[in-house]
Structures are given as structure tokens and as C-alpha cells.
Chains A and B, each alone.
Chain A
Amino acid sequence: MAGAAEQTLVQRAKSGDMSAFEELIMAEQSRLYSFALGMAGGNYADAADVLQEALVKAFLNIKRFRGDSSFATWLWRIVHNEFLNYRKHRKTRPLVTSTDELETPSPTIDGNVTQEIIAEEQRARLWEVISLLPPKYREVLVMIDLREQGYEETASLLGISMSALKTRLMRAREKLSLLVRRRRKYFV
């Protein structure tokens, strides 16, 4: 969204114009949702809850937006903080509640379908493992490895330096690989 148009919408939203606020968030909604989804360990319901709470907070606090960063960046930070708060108060529902659910698929199923089922189960397991990571590691993985966001943009959103981001990303990948290795029977 062009700077002047965004500024006008922000001013209108600051004066309580809800439609202006909705227009502002519309452009970012999908990107924010995918981030929330990553942070929620692939749990769609949690991601929608967190995003909704964050956007309501953004609406209530829009007067605090001073324009030091873009409106999108400001929104991202609110979603990010909301997710950290959300995690404190509620554990993410496990995607797979029992390891027994991951039994070998029935051999009578067609080979391609079987492969797809296995891949789906591995994805579910991987989401679960990602959810076990501390938030600071999870968020860099979500932003860079899942959402393929740029390093500069990510560092700016998280308010850390590029070198700090790279170090954090390396550690996040190492920890994730370690967790996957410990659950290797599910990833064969």
C-alpha cells in the first residue's frame, strides 16, 4: 500500500473509523495468518484465535502507532507479542495425541496414497516437534524456513541484528534436527 494512502487510512483508523482499519489489515491478513499458523504449530484454530486477538488489540491501540515503522511491521510485532502471551496462558493442543496413531499404514492401500499418508503424518510430527522449540527459535524457523521471509525483514521485525538472527537460526535448525533425530522412527 502506498505510503500516503496508508497514512490517510491510519489517520482515519485513529479517529475510530473501523472500515479504514479493516482496509489496512486486509493486505496483511494472509501473511499474518501464515505466521500465526507456523507459531501455533500448524493448529488452524489457535492461529485464528491469536490473530483475531492481536488485530483487536491493534485496533484498540492504534493511537499508539507513531509511524516509526510501517503499519505492517507494527502489526507483525503485535501478532508476535500476542502469540508469546498466548503461549504463556494456554498450551497448544497437540496435533497428534498419541504415538500409537502413527502405526504403519495398511498395506492394502494404494502405494501413492500410502506415501501421501506417511508424508502427512511426518508433517504432523514435524509441526509437533516445532511446537516444542522455545519461541525465539520457533519464530525464526517459521519466518525464514517456513515463510521464506528475507533475513533483513525478519531481523527488523524481531528487533535483532543480522548476525544475531543468523546465530539464532543456526541454533534453531540444530535443535530441530536434534529433536527429529530423537524421534527418528517417525521420520523414516
Chain B
Amino acid sequence: MDVAFWAPVMAGGLIAGASSGLLGVFIVGMRIPFLGVCVAHAALAGAVFGSLCGLEGRALLLPALAGAMLAALLLGLLNPERARLDDNVMMGFLFSATMGLAFLGIGLFGVMGRSDNDVRSLLWGNLNFCRWADVRLMLAASLALLGFVLLLHKEMRAIMFSRQVAAAAGIHATAVWTAFLVLAAGVLTVNFQTVGGLMIYSLVVNPAAAAFQLVRGCGRAMVLAMILGGLSGLGGFLVSAVTDLPSGAVIVLVSSALVAGAAARSRIFARSGRNERKRTPGPGERVQEEES
């Protein structure tokens, strides 16, 4: 293996996995996995119109980030109660609107006789082409996310439980939630352009879903999801290097296998726990028996 060539690819996989795993704890915890799809299409719309305005190559990341962050800002500031729409419905609306805009712009490429390859590769990137400049960008976005979560961990925990309860408890819920969405949009867009949309979607959902099966508590779930995400990104790549199978597919399958393994382990422990309780009633059960 050409280590000099593959080192940034492995580092990219590790960082994308870990940061997506961290994001996933909140995205899956708040049941908004559609955020990834919504942000991806908003970024695509931004990139398309950036390209139509004459930007090209890496410079297209800027309008892509702007599109994704604008969509996130709208999602954060819209009050679901006032709009009488659930978050996922609002994301569905934004997804369809931005997808319409993106396809309109792509249609204009044809009318103008230009190629849309730059735009497509921005969002559906390939990890195998990841270079150190991409890794640095992903690392910066991931560190910003980690810093945000460390500083506002308790607020994010409250918002994950319920934005209504968080706001009622005197927490700046809308501001923190909106800032999180904008940052998430930034991290997702940076990861999309290097790793590819489908792989990021699986790295957001699967490590968090596996962590939730294995541990209780937000902090533990965050740490474990980051580790499992990193393992999926790096381990999947190593498996693909050894077996010569497509890296993207292997990474997605490794992260999916983690969820299946975690779910199986959780069921086995739950069953053995139930059997154990049948033999020796716990203190809570004794109290209930005495009370009854």
C-alpha cells in the first residue's frame, strides 16, 4: 500500500466518521435524520448557483456552505408551534424547495451548454481522492463542532429532551438550537464534498444508533458514537484496502454491522437480565410487593 497516498484518505475517513458520529447523537436523538438530506440539497443548490455565477473547483464550497447554512438557519428560527409544522415536515419542505432550485440550476447548465461535473463532484465526493487540504478542512469543522458540544453540552442535552421544556426552563433554546443546526450544516457539507453523501448519511445514523443500544447517558453515547464512527470510517477503509472491495460500500456495511451487533448484544443482555430478575427480585420489586 502506498502510505503517502492513502494516509490522508484514512485520516479523512477517521475524522468524517468521528464527527458524523458525534453529530448523529443529537440528530438521531432528536429524530431528525432527514437533516442530512435537507442540508445536502441546500448545499447542492448553493453550489449550482455559485457555479452559474462563475465559481469553480474548490471555490464552490463557499456557496455550498452558504446554501446549507441558510437552510439550517431557517430551520432553527422557524417556530414549529407558530408554523404548526413538525421539524421533519419543515425539513421535507426545505428539501423539496432546495432540490427544485438545484435541478432548475442544473437545467440551466444544459441550456448554457456547460458541464455540471464540478457541482456533482462537490456533493458526491469520493474518499479515495481525499487529500491533506481536505483533511485539514474536515478537522477544522470537526473541532468547531466538538468545541460547541463541549461548551454547550448541558443545553444540547436539554434541547434533545424537548425544546419546549428547555425553553420553559429558561434556556436559550432557539439560539443554541439554531447555532447547532448551522454548525451541523457546515460539518455535513465539508464531509459531503470529501466523503460523499450516502456514506455520511450512514456515518451519522449508524454509530449513534449503535451507541444508544450499548450505553445510557448523553456523554457516554457521544464518546462511543465518535469511536464507532471513527472505527467505521477507518476500519471500513482498511477492510477495503485488504480485500480490494469498494471503500464506500465497505464503510457503510461496517457501520451497519455495528448497529446489528449492538442491537443483538442489547437483546441478549436484556433477556439474561430478565431471567436474572426472575430468580432474584430486585429491591424495587420487593418494595412493590410489600406495598401491594
A and B interact = no
B contacts, CB < 8 Å to A: none
